Copies of this chain bind each other. A is one copy, B any other.
């Protein structure tokens, strides 16, 4: 049994590996749960791409907008109270309109590119963003170099991630996933430090294949994690994903999507695993494992849900820390 959440847990140094929308929800809960300065989010940049010459970082933006309270509550990505003047004009002049950049969102993309051109790293630009919007937690791009995720479809074609994900709406069947542009890339210094200094590492309920794996594939990350207490939250509930192509990817790669499959995916790294209450019955049939697995309500509809799940995950981590 996981202990009740204790006041002292708020001072645990927690580092989260996260993608965009699903990860952002848990991060909002953790940000509200932990004391200021205790939360580090290492965010996937495998989705980043250049659009109109601008460096777009969808996962970083989803996380930052969420932590700043600026997220569009309907989509999960982009800004609330958004307008679409530029996109409408792009459409009118026959320019690509498949990636929906709102006007407010675009302003930030422009400013990011300006700062990058001025010599700032993606890490520094993201820090500047957090400062501008008063985000107390640290949001860290997994690395400062380009590390694009590419998808090979069953037709043998290689697609950039946003091409697959947004333009083609995840329709092509996935045959293979190439991470970090096929190169061995180091995490940013800040991301590596956040891992080393963490009391507890959490894998957010993000897509294992294209949100968490890119971070895990960085040089030295698995080695650091082997020394850490790691708890993952399953993004799969009842054999499907709340959002995005995670379940579809599992299937296309020949694996039945399930919480157990997620646990298997991370098996050599995990100490704890949180899956949804809806999979409790199912979990009785799971293969035995040393990983301490607990069910909880992982669907986060509101802030209360986000905080409750955050407290549960931290409590499980704290229990493992004590036992270790």
Judge whether A86 and B111 touch: CB under 8 Å. Answer: no
Bound-state CA distance A132–B95 (Å) is 10
Contacting pair B114 A96 (CB below 8 A): yes
Q: How many whole Å from A28's CB to the nearest CB in chain B? A: 21
Q: Tell yes or no: A237 within 8 A of B by CB.
A: no
Residues of B within 8 A of A107 (CB): 86-87, 89-90, 92-93, 95
A235 CB to closest chain B CB (Å) equals: 31
Q: Given A111-B52, A113-B53, A114-B95, verify A103-B132 contact (CB < 8 Å).
A: no
Interface size on A, residues (CB 8 A): 28
**Which residues of chain A from 50 to 98 have any CB-CB distance to chain B below 8 Å in the complex?**
50-54, 83, 85-87, 89-90, 92-96
How distant is A308 from chain B, measured CB to nearest CB, in Å?
33
A110 touches B132 (CB 8 A): no
**A96 shortest CB reach to chain B, Å:** 7
Within 8 Å of chain B (Cβ to Cβ): is A286? no
How far in angstroms is the closest Cβ of chain B from A118?
Answer: 10
CB proximity to B under 8 Å, residues A39-56: 50-54
Tell whether, in the assembled complex, residue B83 and residue A114 are in contact, meaning their CB atoms are under 8 Å apart. Answer: no
CB distance B110 to A52 under 8 Å?
A: yes
User: How many identical chains are in the complex?
Assistant: 2
- Say whether B86 contacts A117, CB under 8 Å: no
List chain B residues, Cβ under 8 A from A120.
none
Closest chain B residue to A79, Cβ basis:
B89
A15-41, CB under 8 A of B: which get 1 and which 0? Answer: 000000000000000000000000000
Q: A52-B114, A103-B103 are in contact. Are A132 and B85 (CB under 8 A)?
A: no
Q: When chains A and B are docked, how far (Å) is the Cα of A87 from the Cα of B111?
A: 11
A97's nearest neighbour on chain B, judged by CB, is B107
Q: How far, in whole Å, are A116 and B85 apart by their CA atoms in the complex?
A: 23
Residue from the list B54, B83, B89 in contact with A108, Cβ < 8 A: B89
The 0/1 profile, CB within 8 Å of B marked 1, for residues 105-134 of chain A is 011101101101100000000000000100
Q: How far is the CA of A281 from the CA of B77 in the complex (A)?
A: 67
**Interface check A167, CB cutoff 8 A:** no
Contact with A132, one of B52, B93, B104, B108 (Cβ below 8 angstroms): B93
Q: Does the CB pair B94–A132 fall under 8 Å?
A: yes
Expressed in whole angstroms, the Cα–Cα distance for A10 and B86 within the complex equals 38
CB atoms of A117 and B53 under 8 A apart? yes
Bound-state CA distance A111–B91 (Å) is 11
Q: Which of A140-193 contact B (CB under 8 A)?
A: none
A-B contact pairs, 15 of them (CB 8 A): A52-B113, A52-B114, A53-B53, A53-B117, A54-B110, A83-B85, A85-B104, A87-B107, A89-B106, A89-B107, A89-B108, A90-B107, A90-B110, A93-B107, A95-B107
Seen from chain A, the residues whose Cβ lies within 8 Å of a Cβ on chain B are 50-54, 83, 85-87, 89-90, 92-96, 103-104, 106-108, 110-111, 113-114, 116-117, 132
Please list the 9 inter-chain residue pairs (A to B) with the smallest Cβ-Cβ separation, ordered nearest first.
A89-B107, A85-B103, A52-B110, A53-B113, A95-B111, A89-B104, A83-B85, A52-B114, A90-B107
